[in-house]
Structure 1
Amino acid sequence: MRNVAFLRSSEMTLVVICVAGVIGLAVASDGNSLSSNSIRVFLQFLAVPVLIGLAQMVVLAVGELNLAVGAMGGVAAVSSGILMADHGAPAPVAMFAGFGVAILAGLANGLLVVLTRISGFVVTLATFTILTGAQYRLVGTQTVSDYSDAVTSFGRATLLDRIPWIFVVACVVAILVSVFLRRARMGREMLATGGNASAAQLSGVSNDRSLVVAHTLSGAIIGVAAMLTVASSPGVNKSIGADWLLPSFAAPIIGGALLTGGSVVVLGTVLAAFVVRLVDAFRAEFQLEPTWVQFLIGAVVLGTVLLGQARKRRRRRALEPHPEQPTSRKVAAP
């Protein structure tokens, strides 16, 4: 039964799309997309979209939104780069500091949501503005690139001459997130809060704690994405993270996450990020305008949400009891 359910799931649909997309791209590029260098570049640019999709997914799991994904990553990245380039901090110290900045930003989001009782949409919109200003204040208009060779070497390192290590890190994070949400008690409590906050509270679950943990975990994942960006980019500046918001929503929503919370779609998020990356690869192959990619992704996200709402209404109607039909009685003739 479990195998049958998977074959009918959105993940299986995404698997088929991914396979078809890879084959189509190989045909369109005369096989060049399957070369070692092409695979390495493809996976290198896939690592960060996977991570920011997961960062959004864990917040969606509790019924929240995080609009500050890009600003959190940008501040973390430039903080790490400046510590190495301008202050001579050792690479491990600078990378850990940048990672910590993202965690603290996520923790602040969670605490603000709990203490103010304002929705995560409004809170993270405010912190997005604050962090964007902080990022510009830190780096200005310059690009910071004079940091440790060890960091940039890791960003270029590959496994088996095809798979970038930064993509391996992203996969490891995805596995850890999946195990945490499905196996750890705190992860299950987060899903309970997202599914039905009132029922979760009656069961002894602290909804406030779930919200704080979700936002903090989101910050931690964004911190990893920021550090991988520092390692794989030629430099960091005020534009780092500026284009993260749409992909962060696209991956989990296309992967099957519910905006109302209570769902985990780690595999679906990874596969959806792969599909979005395929779209961008097709765009580059046919030399189309980048705006077409944004238009297509936005349209797919909107269509996915509308389709999910239609399915939800259909299920609700199916579960509603049907009124009994009045039975006609024959009256015997006198």
Structure 2
Amino acid sequence: MKLPFFFRNRMTEVSLTVIFVLGFLALVATSNGVFLSRASLQGFLTYLAVPITIGLAQMVVLCIGQMNLAVGTMGGVTCAIMAVLMADHNVPIAIAIPIGLLSATLMGAVNGALVVLTQLNGFIITLGTYTILLGFQYRLVKTFTIDKYPSSLPEFGKKAFVGFPYILVIAIITAILLSLFFSRTIMGRRILATGGNPLAARLSGVSNNKSVFLAHTLSGLLIGVASVITIASLPGINRSIGGDWLLASFAAPIIGGVLMSGGTIAIYGTVIAAAVVRLVDIARAQYSLDPSIVSLSVGVVTLSTVALSEWRRRRTERANEGIKATQ
């Protein structure tokens, strides 16, 4: 039976789902049921929205075989722009949020345009824009915490629908729309074709440059969504926003089954991997472990996943070469 596009990396996704369920049950058992309290579950689900969205933003660039190292500073600048507009210039929320989304999308478009024009890998380009945007973020926020924007925004971040925070619902809807984009649109399939085999894609009439530009632009839009979620879930914005996004943005899609070589996406895998990482963070707090344990664990798992994926890719290539040699 053909799986929906949302669920494609069956083994990885099933394994992660089992790990999540077992981890969830373990936390419930060891917390004497406290983890099942409304406040605990609400906190878990609320802080899951951003890791999911930034994971999807990185996944879009990974699927063309590139990286976006500017994820954190793009988000930080976008949050700063919206906060400054609302707090210092009294811009209404209904205007500030679209400006923020547009700003993040334009940052992604600039990354994509630079990659296409210079023909350098996104790793190099986004490393440069990361530094530039970091300076711009510090320039906007300075050493202050901006919290004088309308209270209705953080209040929205606390609201829930049938127990699910609105901001998590936004993240899940974003994931579903992204799945539909890659499965139902020509542009989405062309991006995957470019990531899977650029030469074959070009010979099939696909513009690889257009695919690369679109992937980075879409990544920017998703970072904009993550920024809106962030500003709605925090009491204030300062220059530290986005500082811890980079590892999280790579961990979710890579652990979720996305190949670094490109050509694949794993939307459900990214979502469930983000949930597993969040469980690890909660377990660290519950058992009073050193905070570095989370970063260490996630880093080791991410690196191991990359190494395993690369080993599988090379083994498949050697097997294919052997088949061709015998024909």
User: Structure 2 length as normaliser, TM-score?
Assistant: 0.96
Q: Deviations over 1:87-132 (max 9, x none)?
A: 1111111111111111110000000000111110000000000000
1:137 pairs, out of 129, 136, 139, with 139
Contact 1:6–1:12 (CA<8 Å) still a contact in 2?
Answer: no
1:6 deviates by: 6.9
- 5+ residue gaps, structure 1, are 325-334
CA distance in 1 between partners of 2:9 and 2:185 (Å): 27
Measured after TM superposition, the shift of residue 2 of structure 1 is 4.3
Equivalent residue, structure 2, for 1:284? 285
Aligned to 2:35: 33
**Contact 1:39-1:163 within 8 A present in 2 as well:** no
Does the CA contact (< 8 Å) of 1:11 and 1:268 recur in 2? yes
Alpha carbon RMSD of aligned pairs, Å? 1.5
Letter of the 1:158 counterpart: A
- The aligned residue for residue 314 of structure 1 is 315
Paired residue for 2:63?
Answer: 61
Q: Equivalent pairs: percent with the same residue?
A: 52
Shift, 1:308, TM fit: 1.1
Aligned to 2:226: 225
- 1:96-245 to 2 correspondences below 5 Å: 96-160=98-162, 162-245=163-246
Greater than 4 Å deviation, 4+ residue runs: 5-8
What displacement does 1:315 show? 2.2
Deviates most, 314-323 or 122-131:
314-323
Give CA deviations for 1:9-61 in whole Å, capped at 9, x if unaligned: 21111111111111111111111111111111001000000000000000011
Q: CA deviation at 1:152?
A: 1.4
Could you list the per-position Cα deviations for residues 252-280 of structure 1 after superposition, in whole angstroms to 9, with x for gaps in the alignment? Answer: 00001011110010000001000100100
Distance in 2 of aligned mates of 1:7 and 1:255 = 8
Q: Residues 178 and 241 of structure 1: is their aligned pair in 2 closer, same or farther, counting only changes over 3 Å?
A: same
Q: Partner of 1:320: helix, strand, or coil? A: helix
Structure 1 match to 2:305: 304
Match of 1:70 among 69, 72, 75: 72
In structure 1, distance between residues paired with 2:312 and 2:195: 19
Distance in 1 between residues matched to 2:24 and 2:288, nearest whole Å: 18
C-alpha change, 1:75 and 1:7, in structure 2 (3 Å) is closer
Determine the C-alpha separation between the residues in 1 that align with 2:204 and 2:317: 25
Structure 2 spans left out of the alignment, 5+ residues: none
Determine the C-alpha separation between the residues in 2 that align with 1:134 and 1:103: 16
User: Quick one: distance in 1 between partners of 2:109 and 2:28?
Assistant: 44
CA distance in 2, matches of 1:186, 1:276: 31
Letter in 2 for 1:227: V
Amino acid at match of 1:233: L
8 Å contact kept, 2:8–2:266: no
